[in-house]
Amino acid sequence: MPDLGAVRELARSITALENNQSEALLALHEAMRDTSAKGRVIGITGPPGAGKSSLVDALARQLRTCEKTVAILAVDPSSRSTGGAILGDRIRMRDHYADPGIFIRSMATRGHSGGLAATTHNVAEWLRIKGFDYVLIETVGVGQDEIAIAGVADIVAVVLVPGMGDDVQAIKAGLMEIADLYVVNKADYEGADRTVNEIEAMLNLGHGPKPPILKTIATAPSGIPELIQQLDSLPRRQHDAPTARFPIDHIGIAVRSLDAAACFYALLGLDTSARETVPPEKVRVAMLAAGESRIELLEALDPDSPIAKFIEKRGEGLHHVALRVPDLNRAIEKLTAAGARVLHEPRRGAGGHLYTFVHPSSAGGVLWELIQA
Ligand code: CO
């Protein structure tokens, strides 16, 4: 749990993630190697007026009484102003601001590169890694962006209110597929049971497991511990790792001799002394630290090596560019399905990472190395 001093730093790192800054993305990428974070990412969605903010409020308060740490992301994909409406809602939460166990952030994603799904996913994952037990994502907008929450959250709660009438039918199209549970909020309003029945009827038309339906009164509050129990016990959704934009890992340069190349790179202030051999590629490699990226000098150990053949044909020079991907097998799957020529199954490199290559004939003339840390 971050202390008060760390909150400012956390806010700064989230801004960097929202702006897709490469250092922040790299930090996220590195942190994701440690899979010990056990927090849950909960998506709270539903039509305007369902009382989602009050529900998130009530959840946060209840979780704090159980000593659980909570991060709240209020996401407004359609925000025309600077998220003012969300911040207004959140004023109620201001008594929590002195509590380091709760972190609140508004995200007006319009204008952010990467869109709602990628940015929110990165930020939510970052908060989870930072040790929050619960990351509550409240979406304010409606439509396609809201559906994207299903690709981000471990559990999606769809919040409805009594007296929606035909609206339950309208919701069926989009939200039904993403609901892991339904919450009928404002359950003290007339027609709450009818709304529950309507949801049940709708679910009975479908196949497969039926999501639970819970009744809450967020403002009372009532039904909140039961809701938390469900959020804890439902199985997590499976989805892709965050689609961070990973930076270039390194640039591979074919040289006849590492020792001969060392002089030139020394003039640039780059140290070529750390070397290793990569037996499957029949090469000796010097990795040069170059900012956040690296330069990989490749010397052939055998006339049969791809580097020897490359130099024979083209001479010394730029050989390949290596890109980090979050999931190499999945990248290969997608590329192969699209007809691209992937050179081999993932191999394990000297640094323990996995790698493969995409042939230049299916990559615009560039030999791309794909790397999974
Ligand atoms: Co390489």
The secondary structure of 204-252 as a DSSP string is: HHS-SPPPPEEE-BTTTTBSHHHHHHHHHHSPPPP-PPP---PPEEEEE
- What distance in angstroms lies between residue 24's CA and the mean position of ligand 1's atoms? 23
Question: Would you give the DSSP letter of residue 175?
Answer: G
What are the start and end residues of each CATH 3.40.50.300 domain in the chain? 4-233
- pLDDT at residue 100 in the model: 79
What distance in angstroms lies between residue 143's CA and the mean position of ligand 1's atoms?
43
CA distance 315 to 247: 28
| Interval between CA 52 and ligand 1 midpoint (Å) | 49
**How close is the Cα of 224 to the center of ligand 1, in Å?**
53
Cβ neighbours of 273 (radius 10 Å): 9
Q: How is domain 248-372 classified at the CATH fold level?
A: 2,3-Dihydroxybiphenyl 1,2-Dioxygenase; domain 1 (3.10.180)
How far apart are the CA of 114 and the centre of ligand 1, in A?
Answer: 27
**CATH superfamily name and code, 4-233:** P-loop containing nucleotide triphosphate hydrolases (3.40.50.300)
99: tokens are 């509590």
The per-residue pLDDT for 84 is 44
Give me ligand 1 centre to Cα 99, in Å.
47
For ligand 1, the distance from its centroid to the CA atom of residue 67, given in whole angstroms, is 47
pTM passes above 0.75: no
Strand runs labelled E in 97-217: 102-107, 134-139, 155-160, 181-184, 213-215
Per-residue pLDDT of the chain (373 residues; tens, 9 = 90+): 446 678 888 989 998 888 777 778 878 888 887 778 889 999 998 887 888 889 999 999 999 999 999 999 988 655 544 444 445 445 455 555 578 788 888 877 555 434 566 788 889 999 999 999 999 998 865 555 566 778 789 999 999 999 876 666 666 566 777 889 999 999 999 999 999 998 898 888 877 788 999 999 999 999 999 999 999 999 888 766 554 455 688 999 999 999 999 999 999 889 888 899 988 889 999 999 887 688 999 999 999 999 999 999 999 999 999 998 878 898 899 999 999 999 999 998 877 889 999 999 999 999 999 998 7
Helix (H, G, I), strand (E, B) or coil at 158: strand
Domain with CATH 3.10.180.10 in the chain: 248-372
pLDDT of residue 112: 46
What is the Å distance from ligand 1's center to 241 Cα?
23
**What is the number of alpha carbons within 13 Å of residue 124 lying toward its C-beta?**
30
pLDDT for residue 110: 56
**pLDDT value for 88:** 46
- Backbone φ and ψ for 24, nearest 5 degrees, come out as -65, -40
Residue 269 Cα to ligand 1 middle (Å): 21
Q: Which residues lie near ion ligand 1 (Cβ < 5 Å)?
A: 252, 296, 322, 369
pLDDT recorded at residue 357: 96
Dist. CA 147 → ligand 1 center (Å): 38
Q: How far is the CA of 276 from the centre of ligand 1 (A)?
A: 12
What distance in Å separates the CA atoms of residue 197 and residue 200, rounded to the nearest whole number?
A: 5
